[in-house]
Structures are given as C-alpha cells and as structure tokens.
Amino acid sequence: MLYENSVSESYLHGNLLNAIQTSLGKLGKTTDTVTVEDLGPADEFHIGGRLATKSFLDQLNFSKKDHILDVGCGLGGAARFVADQYGSSVTGIDLSQEYTDTGKALSNWVKLGKQITLQQGSALSMPFEDNTFDGGYMLHVGMNIEDKAKLFAEISRVLKPGATFGVYDIMRFKEGELTYPVPWATVNGTNKLATLDQYKSALIAAGFEVSKVNNRRDFALDFFKQMRAKNEANGGPPPLGLHTLMKESTPAKLKNMVDSIAADYIAPVEIIAQKG
C-alpha cells in the first residue's frame, strides 16, 4: 500500500481539471463544445498519443456489445476512444483519485459518461467479479508494477474465457542506467520495467496465449522527432498536451525517455493475447 501511494503521488498534479479547462479555453473550446479528439493531446498519456491508441486498439476488435476493462485508465482517454469509436462500454481502474475524478468530468463533457465508469483502485486487487469483461487493455501501466505475474493473474480472473487483452507498455531491452526523471518514475524506486520475455512468461502463466508482438521503437522515435519539429515551428508546445499533466518536469522527462529509447535500453511494445 505504501508503494502504491508513492506511485499515485508521483502523478499528482493538484489542479488538473482546471488546468485542462484553461488550456481548452486557449483553443477556443468550452466544456459544451469540446470533443473526444480535442482532449487527445492531454488524456492519451503514453508514447504516440491518439495515433498509437488507434493503431493499438484497432487490433483488439472491440464492438458495441462488449464491456471492456481499462487497466490503469488514467484520465480515461483510451476509454473515451473505445466508447466513441467502437461503441463499447468501458470500466477503468487507476491508482490516482485525481485522474479518475478528472476523467469522469471529461467523459461527461463529451457526453460519454453513461458508457464509461472510472474508479480508483489497484490493478492487483480489482473489485470486479470473475469473468466480467469481454476484453481489455492496458497502456503504459506495467512500468510501475513489479509483480507482473500477479497483475496478469488478476486481469485473467476478471476476463471472460476467450477474451482478447492488449498490452502497450515500455519494456527493457539492453542493460543500462536510466536517467531520471522519466514520465512514469521520478526516481528508480518506482521504476519497475521488465523485459518482453518476462511479460510473455507472466501472461502465459496467467492462462493467456500470446498471438502478436509489435516493437514500436522506430514509431516512438519518429513521433518525438515530429513533435519537436512542430513545437519549434510553432514557438513552443500547444496549449493542451502532456505538459499539462507533467508541468515543468515535461522537457526533462521526455528527453530522458527518448534518449533511453534511442540507446536501445527501452522501447514501447504491443502484445496481443487471448485468455484460454
């Protein structure tokens, strides 16, 4: 519990909903006119943002009849994408009370509050019945969870047999010291990176069959190259973006992460698996 508290505190903003609303105002948007697409630059807190979300989630074949689990939902950006694009209902769980509270408000702004439920809680002990969900996913979550075996066993418990589950996480490749802070950890103590083989072993032990693996290293480096070019051309970042969440620590966190990806220490990876 102490560790989970430290993880939650590392993401604490303090005034997040107001910061997002203020940034939207600079874009000429209000809570009545904002769209799911407008929120994407801030509520997709993972490498590649909305572009990565679509590429990843399109592989999971969710539909309107499905009830989907979002593990480590954050602000609910991916949940809103799933609800909006595929018509699914989504239940998300995240350690951060501020993120889930903010996410509920954002979902109501875009008229998706009835399809989406976001709640505070631990992915290692979820308050859901066995065999509840038709499918699920997690985006950039496992880097803060050391016990991957327990994580995937708990996810398997709440998924129905045959359900598809997708993972999009940053994984360890070459050995080497990371420079902190990075987006998921300000210090080494909350960094719980694992290798692709460790992820696959934990999934298989939990009863999953891994059907696809995609290393997204090159996509990530190109994404950040284009982001830098756009920011330089525009004289700085847009009003709404990841800096809205990470505030003044954003440049250092992104630089340290990109440097580690370029050095092949880490890379974002997609895994698609099915519960047996």
In this prediction, residue 6 carries a pLDDT of 77
Average pLDDT over residues 250-274: 96
Q: Where are the domains of the chain?
A: 2-169+190-216+269-275
CA triple 144-149-153, angle to 5 deg: 110
- Which among 145, 199, 170 is positioned nearest to 267, based on CA atoms? 170
In this prediction, residue 12 carries a pLDDT of 66
Tokens encoding 243: 């800096």
Please give the Cα distance from 82 to 117 (Å, whole number). 13
Higher-scoring residue by pLDDT: 196, 244: 196
- Helix axes of 97-109 and 16-26: crossing angle, nearest 10 degrees: 40
Q: What is the pLDDT of residues 42-87, one digit of tens each?
A: 888 899 989 999 999 999 999 999 999 999 999 999 999 999 999 9
- 40 pLDDT above the threshold of 90: no
Architecture of domain 2-169+190-216+269-275: 3-Layer(aba) Sandwich (3.40)
Tokens encoding 96: 């951060």
For 204, residues 6+ apart whose C-beta sits below 8 A from its C-beta are 210
The whole-model pTM stands at 0.94
Please give the Cα distance from 71 to 142 (Å, whole number). 10
Average pLDDT over residues 128-153: 97
| DSSP structure string for 41-54 | HHH--STTHHHHHH
In this prediction, residue 133 carries a pLDDT of 98
In this prediction, residue 2 carries a pLDDT of 74
The amino acid sitting at 158 is V
**Cα distances (angstroms) measured from residue 95 to each of 4, 73, 141, 161, 259:** 7, 9, 11, 26, 28
Please give the Cα distance from 267 to 261 (Å, whole number). 5
Neighbours of 235 (CB within 10 A): 6
